[in-house]
Structure 1
Amino acid sequence: MNDNLLEQAVRSALRNEPFVDVERIVITVQNGVAKLAGEVDTRTQKLAVRYKAQCVGGVSDVVDELDVRTPHRVEQRVDDIQTGVMNALFWDAAVPTERISARCEKGWVTLTGEVERPYQRSSAEADARKIRGVIGVTNDIKVSPGVAAARSGEGGEIRPAQH
């Protein structure tokens, strides 16, 4: 497939992505390498655009020069975003919210804290990414098996039931 047809195929694939404004993205293809430039609103959109382009048959590589732009309204709602993230974490039974904190700056959320299991770390990040206004997430949550037992003073020892 020639480069012009590949460019059209990539553009068509991106038009099928519901949350992406393809008019804000410049697509060029040279020797099978798709170059994406322009801007999107979130890191999730950026990843989706890159993935869609990579999935087009004939595209050998993708050069991602997309910028994530912080909408003006997001800068004014940092506290709302942070509260939204903490609420989402609170309602996720897999996430021990008492050991996690979230900080938000210009729509970028940083998660910190300590959990026992990798799935808890992943769940917290997934929850944060779903909040409106979140541009991206830095997940600095540490996985430390046994952290809950150590903090509760139980030390992980097994005791007989008290009847």
Structure 2
Amino acid sequence: MKVAIIFGSKSDKDVMKGAAEALKEFNIEYKALILSAHRVPEKLLETLKKLEEEGFECIIAGAGLAAHLPGVIASHTILPVIGVPINASLNGLDSLFSIVQMPKSIPVATVGINNSYNAGMLAVEILSLKYPDLKEKLKLYRQNMKEKFIKENEEGVQL
């Protein structure tokens, strides 16, 4: 099980750490890379080919501003691509709209603005379809989450 985390700039690193945290919780191997669809398109395509050859099964791509990176990646691979809109301007709405408005037949699954953790969790869910042990870990994770929530809130809260 391997997931690539790709983002376009060093300034995106803090936002994209959440994806790595989610993958680490489930012991999923990942590789994080800084690549730009605009500044190094040839290197991006070369890397995508290499990732496929190395058995990566999913790609998480974070992008701000024009936010083309997830869509460009999706247009060059059949691996599932999960887009993370990054708040670089306009409260991240420009990035969100750019990523979710992909043309027919080239989808990018998209999570909330700056929510790379959910991108990591979506990658876990995708991989759990293929790996039974991971599916069981995910079920246990969800059950523990529910139990913790109930325990923390069953007595009510002080306002």
Same-fold status (TM-score > 0.5)? no
The structure with the greater share of residues assigned to strand is: 1
Q: Kindly name which structure, 1 or 2, has the bigger radius of gyration based on alpha carbons.
A: 1
TM-score calculated relative to the size of structure 2: 0.31
Select the structure with the greater relative contact order (CA < 8 A; seq sep ≥ 6).
2
TM-score calculated relative to the size of structure 1: 0.31
